[in-house]
Amino acid sequence: MSDILLELLCVSEKAANIARACRQQETLFQLLIEEKKGAEKNKKFAADFKTLADVLVQEVIKQNMENKFPGLGKKVFGEE
């Protein structure tokens, strides 16, 4: 298996662990939700939300890919 595929599998597991940790306690999860406003809001929705998990996952993926493959992290884009 290629190095990039192995790294994607590894970072996917890290991302899943972050999401699971953020969802473990419903009251805590509710504190981690933020409604998107202005330019970051998707106009297709009456309300659009992001969670701390979304932001953390995106940054972990970018940083891990950058560490393993310099320059690649700058080419990773997410919705958050």
Domain boundaries, given as residue ranges, for the chain: 2-34+43-69
> Model-level pTM?
0.70
How far apart CA 65 and CA 48 sit, in angstroms, is: 28
Residues 16-48 have pLDDT tens digits of: 998 888 888 788 778 888 888 888 888 898 888
- pLDDT of 67 > 70? The answer is yes
* Strand extents, DSSP E, 1-80: 33-35, 49-51
How far apart CA 36 and CA 42 sit, in angstroms, is: 8
What does the pLDDT average to over 43-69?
88
How far apart CA 41 and CA 49 sit, in angstroms, is: 8
pLDDT of res. 80: 59
Per-residue pLDDT band for 10 (boundaries 50, 70, 90) equals: very high
